[in-house]
């Protein structure tokens, strides 16, 4: 089956590059650094031979941010190791640079073909491979096993959609899972799904979700308060974060209704994908609202809608908001991270499609820190209720923070598993 898989990848490769060119119309970064996707590297990505490499793969922004506490902990506990981070998307690459700077080496993940995989592993010679969440690459992982590189799934999860997809190629997935030294997964349900796909039960440990161990800058609350005081001191603030197509429409419709009873309400929109910014701008303007963009630094204070079109600032704007809606959940996209706004102490609203982390959404809802909505009407109704009473907002926010604190610990459990492989240090051949 792996031979067929590899042959299909070779056939698809020209179309993959064509898609990169197509996407580069809106995001120019997609046409750059193709050499890395084929396993060819410039001198800037070299690692000194005296330094040991720990490789971590995080496909895009969400996985990179979830890996933040783990990377910092590894840098603090094992400073003798150079950390190599791979991503698949330019937004993930940008987030790595903004979060870690030159303290890590970043390249794009090579395509899962024998040549690129061989060149990647030969160039970096990792002594440990860590894969964030759900990324299964048969050729890459088989090559790791052939080179005796321990392969660890970190913060592993298996959504119902991914599970159904992997069930269609059981032999290939079973062979791929056999390459893992260990799978550190988020929940018991994830463990059951991995085991059903062929992972050995003795290789699976439920460590919890690293997103509960989110790092929160000490001065963030102070910075948020200063920003709000400067621009929006008399306004109530609703943020719609990580939104997908269709969700901005719902939020704008809700905003139109809410403005009738709360004229000082500000709506902040933070679309999940940067290539959709232009269409969101058109939507807001067509609805007749004034607009300010974060990237243009044209915030005046009296705009109707503020568009957060930069990366890496969600924590800041969660911290200055009164209510947060987390996207990817009113449309069937699986939902995004509800724990960051909970950590900021604001009520968290989300839609019915939270399949990426159903236990987290359910737990936050049961703890009283989250509110599930199913469309524009219920979204409008719940926001209106929360806008009316500040004490209610604060109480829900405190419950969300407590829920997050009660579920921390995944970081230490994960580090405990990794320590078994990092002590004593395995040296390069």
Give the residue extent of every domain in the chain.
2-208+409-422, 220-406
pTM for the whole thing?
0.88
Comparing CA positions, the residue from 276, 277, 304 lying closest to residue 288 is 304
* Separation in Å, CA 182 to CA 12, 18, 209: 31, 36, 16
pLDDT at position 46, please?
62
pLDDT at position 26, please?
84
Q: Helix (H, G, I), strand (E, B), or coil: what is residue 269?
A: strand
**What residues does 85 pair with on adjacent strands?**
56, 106
Please indicate whether the domains covering 2-208+409-422 and 220-406 agree at the CATH topology level: yes
pLDDT at position 49, please?
56
pLDDT at position 51, please?
65
Q: Would you call 63 a catalytic residue per the annotation?
A: yes
The span from the CA of 318 to the CA of 338, in Å, is 11
CATH architecture group of domain 220-406: 3-Layer(aba) Sandwich (3.40)
In sequence order, which residues have a C-beta less than 8 Å from that of residue 214 and are 6 or more positions away? 68, 69, 339, 340, 343, 404
The span from the CA of 84 to the CA of 54, in Å, is 6
End-to-end alpha-carbon separation of the chain, Å?
31
Tell me which of 29, 36, 63, 133 is the catalytic residue. Answer: 63
The span from the CA of 301 to the CA of 298, in Å, is 9
Helices (H), 232-375: 247-258, 277-286, 314-320, 339-344, 358-366
In sequence order, which residues have a C-beta less than 8 Å from that of residue 289 and are 6 or more positions away? 252, 255, 267, 304, 305
Which residues of the chain fall short of a pLDDT of 70? 43-51, 423-429
- CATH T-level assignment (fold) for domain 2-208+409-422: Rossmann fold (3.40.50)
């Amino acid at each position: 089956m792996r031979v067929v898989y590899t042959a299909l990848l070779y056939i698809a490769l020209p179309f993959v590059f064509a898609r990169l060119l197509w996407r580069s119309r809106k995001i120019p970064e997609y046409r750059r650094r193709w050499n890395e996707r084929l396993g060819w590297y410039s001198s800037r990505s070299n690692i000194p031979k005296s330094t040991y490499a720990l490789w971590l793969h995080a496909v895009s922004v969400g996985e990179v941010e979830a890996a933040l506490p783990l990377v910092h902990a590894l840098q603090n506990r094992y400073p003798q190791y150079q950390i190599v981070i791979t991503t698949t998307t330019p937004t993930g690459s940008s987030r790595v640079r903004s979060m870690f700077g030159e303290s890590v080496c970043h390249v794009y993940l090579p395509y899962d073909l024998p040549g690129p995989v061989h060149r990647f592993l030969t160039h970096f010679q990792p002594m440990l491979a860590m894969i964030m969440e759900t990324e299964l690459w048969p050729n890459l992982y088989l090559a790791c096993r052939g080179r005796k590189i321990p392969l660890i799934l970190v913060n592993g999860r298996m959504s119902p959609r991914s599970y159904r997809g992997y069930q269609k190629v059981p032999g290939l997935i079973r062979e791929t899972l056999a390459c893992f030294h260990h799978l550190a997964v988020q929940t018991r349900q994830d463990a059951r799904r991995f085991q059903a796909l062929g992972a050995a039960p003795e290789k699976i440990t439920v460590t919890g979700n690293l997103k509960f161990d989110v790092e929160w800058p000490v001065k963030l609350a102070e910075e948020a308060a200063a920003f709000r005081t400067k621009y929006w001191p008399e306004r109530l603030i609703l943020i719609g974060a990580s939104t997908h197509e269709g969700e901005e429409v719902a939020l704008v419709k809700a905003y139109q209704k809410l403005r009738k009873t709360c004229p000082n309400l500000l709506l902040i929109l933070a679309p999940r994908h940067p290539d959709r910014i232009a269409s969101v701008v058109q939507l807001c303007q067509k609805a007749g609202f004034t607009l300010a963009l974060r990237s243009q630094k044209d915030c005046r204070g009296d705009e109707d809608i503020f568009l957060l079109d930069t990366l890496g600032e969600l924590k800041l704007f969660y911290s200055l908001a009164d209510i947060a809606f987390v996207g990817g959940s009113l449309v069937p996209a699986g939902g995004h991270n509800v724990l960051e706004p909970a950590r900021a102490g604001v009520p968290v609203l989300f839609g019915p499609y939270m399949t990426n982390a159903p236990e987290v959404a359910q737990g936050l809802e049961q703890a009283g820190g989250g509110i599930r909505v199913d469309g524009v009407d219920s979204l409008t109704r719940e926001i209106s209720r929360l806008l009316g009473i500040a004490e209610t907002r604060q109480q829900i926010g405190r419950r969300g923070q407590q829920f997050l604190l009660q579920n921390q610990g995944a970081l230490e459990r994960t580090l405990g598993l990794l320590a078994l492989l990092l002590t004593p240090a395995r040296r390069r051949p």
